[in-house]
Structure 1
Amino acid sequence: MTSTAISPIEVARQNIGAYKGELLASLPSHLQDKGVGWLTSALSALRKNDEVLRCANQDPGSLIVALSQAAQLGLMPGTDEYYITPKGGKILGVVGYQGEVELMYRAGAVSSVIVENVYEKDKFQWNPGTMTKPIHEVDWFGGERGKIIGSYAYAIMKDGAVSKVVIVNQERIDRAKKASATAGKSFSPWTSDEAAMILKTAAHDLAKWVPTSAEYIREQVRAVRDVANEPAKPTTETKPEGVVSPRQHHPEPAANTVTGELIDEGETTTEQQVDYDSEADAAWLAGTGTK
């Protein structure tokens, strides 16, 4: 009697499947109906990179930790929102550029987030003493823009105010790269998409100056709870002229994490390039495969 060897991707399916329920339960409400896509994105990230898959199977605990963080943050693993990378035989989860921006939008305090790289042939002006935001001119039809010399980021708040402008120069880029656990490796995002990682550095620095989802939503929930616990006012009280009762809150449409434009319900903020074995993965995603 011969035994059939289990493929590496099947081992990964089994490892993730053992925690599938917990991972999906950790997803925030806006992703609860996209659980299948979230799992597909995680599995696709493993299949696309042999080193990632090897480390995921070598240390499945580190994979589950990374996926748990992505789930709790509400970010798509294996995309520019949340990278799945190998490190020392283990899996390391890294919040990407779009993930940093997504968390700012989700907080609800900003109307737009601007994060741009500056190239050596661009025209860039910024004087914090006399300007509220930088002037960045690009010749979009002039061909090669040269190498990246820095980056900047700022947010326009819902009330129209401009946040602190964050400037990332070459020294800051070098420090971010040096601090990266995977910089210099062939599989590192710093190698495969350095421009995105420089944008991520600027977005990460900006996040220190604007509300992100965790802290901001916590305050909003606390405020709603405090109002709900207030004693009811007498109904005979006359309302001041011109004051109307607050309308029932309706969530605003989601915003594209890059442009800030509103998107239709059901449209995802990050396009996925899915690569999976349709029969085996479909059964697994549907809950009928190996767990």
Structure 2
Amino acid sequence: MTTSLLNRVKAATAEAPSGAGRPAGAEEAPVPSVPAAPVESETAEALHTWLTRYEGHIARRLPSHVEAGAFLAAVRDRLPALEGCSPASILDAVLACASFGFIPDGREAVISRDGTLATFIPTYRGYVKAMHNSGFVTSVRVEMVYEGDEFAYEPTRPAPDDFVHRPNLDVPKDKRGAPKFAYAFAWLRGGDRSQPIILSSEDADEIRDLYSTAYQRAESAGTDDSFWHTHRLDMWRKSAIRRLYKVVPTSAEMRALEAVEEAAEAGRPQLDQAPDPEAAELVAEAERAARTAEASQDVAARPMALKAKGRSRSKPKKQRGGRRAGARGRS
């Protein structure tokens, strides 16, 4: 089984001396020493100094349209809340977040503490952004329905006449009553509207109880600090968005976003599931430093790719040749 980036980095820094496994004349390893245990004193300051060493890698991980300074500033603002987290898990969460181009300022995503682990958590707005980035949808609607709103859904009627939501905007938000439903739908490229996803409060609680291990851990510990405890409406909305993913065309980024969040819920490293433009170099350097044998897997994969490429070219050439010969015979 392929080990995670975090385990490789920790193994490299713990087991291999400086320069081990590096070809002669190669540059110094870009991966500095990564403490495997939480920093015990002056944690936020120590983490800030440590994270500075990785700023170049983080910046290269970001999509070109995301300004590195804004991303890194948001990460630094989160460091005090991550005191006691393993620096290795912070690196994992930060690089995973950067892979999607989300700013971890609480709007599109947040980097949160779960015990001694830092985790990247996309918000429902992050999921909406990923859906827009997919190119399959032109707009996404995610809303809450309150007791004072006019709301109706008739699935037997054609869209968009099957769905009505008129919020009661004449009263303040705190007078609209309790939330009843969260819903989400998307307008697809081409003009069609997706199936609407509608989740009641009971539906949301069932999803929370069955699938949120972070909620279950918080309940067991009596801490009441999971996102389901502190941001229930946002998690309710996000549950609707994640259900919507099942009924609209999906992209690799959208599927990766779900996988990354599922890894966070299970307490697994997230970077393995994220899009991987730059961290491959970190992985490769850690593997060399730790003297692993996994590089041989990449070597074995190249002949397979060349063989497949050869088959795809040779067959059409043979067919074209046969057609030309037949044409000459008929003429």
Aligned to 2:12: none
Higher Cα Rg: structure 1 or 2? 2
User: Residue 26 in 1 paired to residue 64 in 2?
Assistant: no
Give me the whole-angstrom Cα distance separating, in 2, the residues matched to 1:15 and 1:37: 19
SS state at 1:45 partner = helix
Give me the whole-angstrom Cα distance separating, in 1, the residues matched to 2:152 and 2:121: 32
**Identical aligned residues as a percent:** 29
Task: Select 1:7's aligned residue among 1, 19, 42.
Answer: 42
Aligned to 2:68: 35
SS state at 2:76 partner = helix
Task: Select 1:157's aligned residue among 188, 191, 196.
Answer: 188
Q: Residues 42-97 of structure 1: CA distance to partner in whole angstroms, max 9, x if unpaired? A: 111233x3xxx2233xx111111111111111111232311222212211221111
User: Residue 16 in 1 paired to residue 51 in 2?
Assistant: yes
Tell me the amino acid that sits aligned with residue 229 of structure 2: T
Instruction: Report if aligned partners of 1:151, 1:169 keep a CA contact under 8 Å in 2.
Output: yes
Cα distance, 1:109–1:127 mapped onto 2, change above 3 Å? same
What pairs up with 1:136-175 in 2 under 5 angstroms? 136-143=165-172, 144-175=175-206
Instruction: Report if aligned partners of 1:81, 1:95 keep a CA contact under 8 Å in 2.
Output: yes
Give me the whole-angstrom Cα distance separating, in 1, the residues matched to 2:87 and 2:113: 12
Aligned residues: 209
Instruction: Report if aligned partners of 1:109, 1:157 keep a CA contact under 8 Å in 2.
Output: yes
Give me the whole-angstrom Cα distance separating, in 1, the residues matched to 2:117 and 2:157: 48
Q: Residues 180-205 of structure 1: CA distance to partner in whole angstroms, max 9, x if unpaired? A: 24335454333332222211111121
Q: Residues 117-165 of structure 1: CA distance to partner in whole angstroms, max 9, x if unpaired? A: 1112222111111142420011111231111122110011121110121
Aligned to 2:214: 182
Give me the whole-angstrom Cα distance separating, in 1, the residues matched to 2:101 and 2:251: 10
Instruction: Report if aligned partners of 2:184, 2:244 keep a CA contact under 8 Å in 1.
Output: yes
Instruction: Report if aligned partners of 2:112, 2:120 keep a CA contact under 8 Å in 1.
Output: yes
Structure 1 unpaired stretches of 5+: 217-228, 230-291
Q: With structure 2 as the length reference, what TM-score do the two structures score? A: 0.57
SS state at 2:84 partner = helix
Q: With structure 1 as the length reference, what TM-score do the two structures score? A: 0.64
- Larger fraction in helix: 2
Cα distance, 1:131–1:151 mapped onto 2, change above 3 Å? farther
Give me the whole-angstrom Cα distance separating, in 2, the residues matched to 1:158 and 1:11: 48
Aligned to 2:139: 112
RMSD (Å) for aligned C-alpha atoms = 2.8
Structure 2 unpaired stretches of 5+: 1-39, 255-312, 314-331
